[in-house]
């Protein structure tokens, strides 16, 4: 009974991490599209964030997305063997 709870708990955590990771990657792609569109329209892109809480959150989210991307890439490469 305890092993089943642990397996269910691990599955939920894994699902949460994959949801956050894929959402972060999707958001990053969407923001890159916005940046490139702005560069094509105006010739430059300038963004300024004055709120340190939002800036810190964006940096942490970017780091998480990078780590998740590397994890998924390595997992994909190892599955090819």
Reference 68, options 31, 9, 20, 11; nearest CA is 20
What confidence score (pLDDT) does residue 5 get? 65
Torsion, Cα 25 30 35 38, to 10 degrees, reads: 180
What confidence score (pLDDT) does residue 47 get? 79
pTM for this entry: 0.68
What confidence score (pLDDT) does residue 2 get? 55
- Numbers of helices and strands, H then E, in the chain: 2, 0
Cα–Cα dist 81/74, whole Å: 12
Structure tokens, 53: 């809480």
What confidence score (pLDDT) does residue 74 get? 92
Tell me the H-state helices in 1-81: 2-42, 52-80
One digit per residue, the tens of pLDDT, for the chain of length 81 reads 455 567 888 889 988 888 988 888 888 888 888 888 888 998 888 878 889 998 898 888 888 988 999 999 999 888 887
């Amino acid at each position: 009974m305890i092993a089943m709870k642990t397996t269910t708990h691990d599955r939920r955590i894994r699902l949460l991490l994959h949801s956050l990771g894929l959402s972060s990657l999707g958001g990053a792609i969407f923001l890159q599209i916005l940046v490139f569109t702005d560069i094509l329209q105006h010739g430059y892109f300038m963004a300024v964030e004055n709120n340190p809480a939002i800036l810190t959150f964006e940096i942490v989210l970017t780091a998480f997305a990078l780590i998740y991307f590397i994890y998924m890439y390595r997992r994909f490469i190892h599955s090819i063997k």
